[in-house]
Amino acid sequence: MAITLDNMQKGQKGKILKIVDKGPFNRRIRDMGVVPGTEILYEGKAPLGDPINIKAKGFSIALRNNEAEKILVEII
Amino acid sequence: MRIAVAGNPNCGKTTIFNGLTGANQKVGNYPGVTVEKKMGTLKIGEEKHDVVDLPGAYSLSAYSEDELVARNYIIEEKPDLIINVVDSSNLERNLYLTVQLMEMQVPLLIVLNMQDAAVSKGLNVEAKKLSELIGAPVVSTVGHKKEGIKKLKEEISKSTKDISFTPISYGKETEYALSEIQKTLDELAFSDSELNKYSKSWFALKLLEQDMQITKIFQEQFHEKTEPIVARINKYAKHVDATLDDTTENIISSYRYGFASSVVKQCITKTFEARKSLSDTIDLFITNRLLGPIILLLVLWFSYQVIFTASEHPVAWLESFFEFLHNGAAKLIPKGLFQSLVVSGIIDGVGGVLGFIPLIMFMFFLISFIEDSGYMARIAFIMDRILRTFGMHGNSILSFIVSGGIAGGCAVPGVMATRTLRDPKERLATILTTPFMNCGAKLPVFALLITAFFSKNQGMMMFFITLLSWFFALVVAGILRKTLLKGTPTPFVLELPPYRMPTLKGLLIHMWERSWVYIKKAGTFILVASIIMWILMTFPQYKSHSSRKMSEAELAQKNWVILLQEELEWL
């Protein structure tokens, strides 16, 4: 089942399918190792609900919900 | 030999740099930008080598100023050796940068750092295998325990300029396009042009990736002659878009990751499946909905108390030292204009600022601790939502804190810390608002006002003033971002590095670097300004002043000097 990253639940695992963005966000997130095929773990939200924290390739990355919307994930 | 140290942020690059150069460091700036340039000297036996610590970068794609500076340094300065520090516990992403360094065809020495962290994650990284797979020497180190530094120095002595990297595969289509572009570059006599400082294969690759900087340089050099290459690139881009619905840049980066991940698969063996790490457990509390903000406020409040309590005595000592100088000079130098210049102008003016050095040093020590331990990234994480309301970025938080978000900072290093902000408008908004923070030079003024108006709860009042400065800085930033500095916010993607116990040496070095900037300013700008102020306050002279009036004038002058110093902090 494919959903956008911001709709994942705490503790859920997923695999990146696609990053729907052709701008600097795509470049940044790729440079940090989040590319299609990468397995991620949704670790949780910041106290104010945004940004969110995911784990990929063994390290944690924070990103905002409106950016997470651009990432398609398959829940595994 | 000239050596550059490159690596990802949070890979222990600075620890390796400190381990190699020790205390022989100086900080400067890269020409034309605010990016800090750290240089040092490495002595191996009789030989001396210049070492530059390049800014941390995930990639050389020129996303941020840091990355562009690192890339341009490698191209323009052509260091004899690049030490690429990689985090063993996070190898795949770190190798992404390594691949890009390999593409630049520069002599590499790879430092496999944080081997201890990898082992505790159940990862066994084979240095020898990695060296074979990449085609460059590899040394294993544990930077913060100084393990492997000796071996690293031996390898540096042995290093040569020969390059024999394993070729990276970009897929048939891409390689065909690359070879055609290279051929056309040959026809344009690329190697005899002013652009021959670039490796031809790298230049072709960057053109194909549609890298903005390189494309611009190319156009400026060859003008209309670029057409066949532009046409070739467009053909490739169209093909990639039609078949893969993606950009050329992304496709090429996928191949880089492909190379990195195949290297990782071959040189890492898993010894056990890691359970939840200590860092993750700490994060459960620190980024918790309820506890997170409480812990943050406690940390700020505690830092605050520590800084003021710890620096109370040293500040008093320095004050009495300058008083001693003041009285001594007043005795030695005969009464008159010159005495007044030295005593009231120079000693009181510069002393008023230098007297706060202990406080500044304690503050920078704590900030370095918060930064090096990994907590700073969590502050950005927690605060981003609030900053976003004002059109700012979680990453601006470091600048605000250094500038006086924890009272007693200084806007100079605060402005310097804005270098990691990518968007020029966001950076400018941060630079323009950091001076609202409760910096070290404003403290004495606030302290004076607080003693005068709120003799009870002085500490609490200072805390409120600090919160108020935050409020004003953010509101003004918000207004700027809605008017003069309008623009779409840049993506907020931030690594939350694992918590680490900072090394004392690292903390001391960081503290000293930042304090030194402050001292230098006090010694130069403020000295000159103190003299100018003294002149303005002294001339023209009236002879009819009574002694009572003179002392009032002196008092006014003193206040002026303080206000002026405050102004200078803005610069």
Condensed to tens digits (0 to 9), the pLDDT of residues B505-546 reads 888 988 888 788 778 876 787 788 888 888 888 877 766 554
Residue (of A31, A25, A36, A28) closest to A67 by Cα position: A25
Using an 8 Å CB-CB cutoff, list chain A residues near B63: 24, 27-28, 31
Nearest CA distance, A76 vs chain B (angstrom): 19
| Mean pLDDT of each 10-residue bin along chain B, 571 residues long | 92 89 73 74 91 91 82 91 94 94 94 88 91 94 87 91 90 92 90 88 93 91 88 91 88 93 91 78 89 90 79 86 90 86 83 78 86 89 91 85 78 74 83 88 81 82 87 93 83 88 87 82 78 83 55 60 60 47
Q: Which residues of B135-173 are buried (b: 16+ CB within 10 A; e: fewer)?
A: ebbbbbbbbbeebbbeebbebbeebeeeeebeebebeee
Q: Which two tokens stand for residue A66?
A: 């409106």
Task: Give B436's DSSP letter.
Answer: G
> A33, B293: Cβ pair inside 8 Å?
no
Quote the minimal CA–CA distance from A57 to chain B in Å: 7
Asked if A62 lies within 8 A of B494 by C-beta distance, the reply is: yes
**Does any CB of chain A come closer than 8 Å to the CB of residue B277?**
no
Q: Judge if ipTM > 0.85.
A: yes
Nearest to B496 among A25, A47, A62 (CB): A62
Does the distance separating the beta carbons of A58 and B121 come in below 8 Å?
yes
Residues 6 or more apart whose Cβ sits within 8 Å of residue B101: B6, B60, B74, B82, B84, B108
Distance CA B502, CA B374 (A): 9
CB contact under 8 A, A64 and B388: yes
The alpha-carbon gap from B123 to the nearest alpha carbon of chain A, in Å, equals: 11
Q: Which residues in chain A touch residue B492, judged by CB atoms under 8 angstroms apart?
A: 51, 62-64, 67
Taking CB atoms and an 8 Å cutoff, what residues of chain B touch A57?
A: 90, 92-93
| HSE of B145, CA atoms in CB hemisphere, 13 A | 10
Nearest CA in chain A to B291: A47
Of B214, B210, B217, nearest in space to B232 by CA: B210
**A71/B contact by beta carbon, under 8 A:** no
Chain B residues in contact with A60 by the CB 8 A cut-off are: 283, 495-498
- Separation in Å, CA of A45 to nearest CA in chain B: 8
- pLDDT at residue B510 in the model: 83
The answer to whether B491 contacts A25, with C-beta atoms less than 8 Å apart, is: yes
Supply the pLDDT for residue B561: 63
Nearest Cα residue in chain B from A57: B90
> Of B50, B56, B55, B103, which is closest to residue B81 (Cα–Cα)?
B50
Q: Where are the alpha helices (DSSP H) in B390-524?
A: 397-400, 411-416, 424-433, 443-453, 458-482, 504-523
pLDDT for res B571: 47
Q: Which residue, among B69, B53, B47, B46, has the nearest Cα to B19 in the 3D structure? A: B53
Q: From the candidates B93, B263, B264, which should be mutated to test the interface with A, based on the most A CB atoms within 10 A?
A: B93
Pairwise CB contact (< 8 Å): B292 & A47:
yes
A9 lies within 8 A of chain B by CB: no
CA distance linking residue B480 with residue B392, whole number of Å = 10
Q: What is the pLDDT of residues B458-470, one digit of tens each?
A: 778 888 888 899 9
Identity of the residue numbered A45? K
**Residue A66 touches chain B, beta carbons under 8 Å:** no
Residue B392 and residue B385: Cα distance in Å, rounded?
A: 9
Between chain A and chain B, the number of residue pairs with CB atoms below 8 A apart is: 114
CB contact under 8 A, A24 and B491: yes
State the average pLDDT over residues A14-36: 89
Q: Which residue from A minimizes the CA distance to B295?
A: A47
User: What is the distance in angstroms between the Cα of A63 and the nearest Cα belonging to chain B?
Assistant: 5
B474 contacts chain A (CB < 8 A): no
What's residue B99's pLDDT?
96
Q: Is residue B459 within 8 Å of B301, Cβ to Cβ?
A: no
Searching chain A, which residue's CA lies closest to the CA of residue B384?
A51
pTM for the model stands at 0.82
With CA atoms as reference, the chain A residue closest to B290 would be A47
H or E stretch covering B40: strand B36-44
The shortest C-alpha distance from A73 to chain B (Å) reads: 17
**Residue B91 Cα, gap to closest chain A Cα (Å):** 9
Quick check: B287 and A25 CB within 8 A? Answer: no
In contact, A52 and A46? CB cutoff 8 Å: yes
